Amino acid sequence: MYSYEYPRPMLTADCVVADKSGRLLLIKRKNDPYKGFWALPGGFMEMYETIEQCAVRELKEETGITVPVESIRMVGVYSEVDRDPRGRCVTVAFAADTDDAAEAGDDAAEARWFDVEALPPMAFDHEKIVADWEKIYRRKYDKE
């Protein structure tokens, strides 16, 4: 259906999800790459959806949490050439808030809330994404 003679990157969306105390939701990866590592919920965009819809869909698939697409906020775009060992991949990271319980699903082996000060080592460049989220959004939780 689509043809293009030039190589093109894969596109993903990731979510930095915080509860009202500022804890972050991570999933433990069930599959390679980074099998067994903690990561932000996220995944590959489908041809029929926007990047925001992808973020909301992947969050629901991996954690069972539903957030309205209009409630997510962009953290940034991450396009380092070697950020994903599967190939050239660009991600758009979003922030979301919820106090809902999470349950692992899809390709997540586990879903768990972590204190921001005690995050485990993470897959891909997710530590950088969280650091950027902290610069932009963390103040919101420090005030509450």
Helix/strand/coil (H, E, C) string of 43-109?
Answer: EECCCCCCHHHHHHHHHHHHHCCCCCHHHCEEEEEECCCCCCCCCCEEEEEEEEECCCCCCCCCCEE
Strand partners, 6: none
pTM above 0.85, yes or no: yes
- What backbone torsions phi and psi does residue 5 show, to the nearest 5 degrees? -75, -10
Please identify which of the residues 52, 110, 127, 134 carries the catalytic annotation.
Answer: 110
Give tens-digit pLDDT for 67-112: 999 999 999 999 999 999 999 999 999 999 999 999 999 889 999 9
Give tens-digit pLDDT for 118-140: 999 999 999 999 999 999 987 77
Residue 3, amino acid: S
110 has catalytic annotation:
yes
Distance, in Å, from the CA atom of 103 to the CA atom of 101, rounded to the nearest integer, reads 7
Q: Is the pLDDT of residue 141 over 90?
A: no
**Three-class SS state of 140:** helix
Give tens-digit pLDDT for 100-113: 999 999 889 999 99
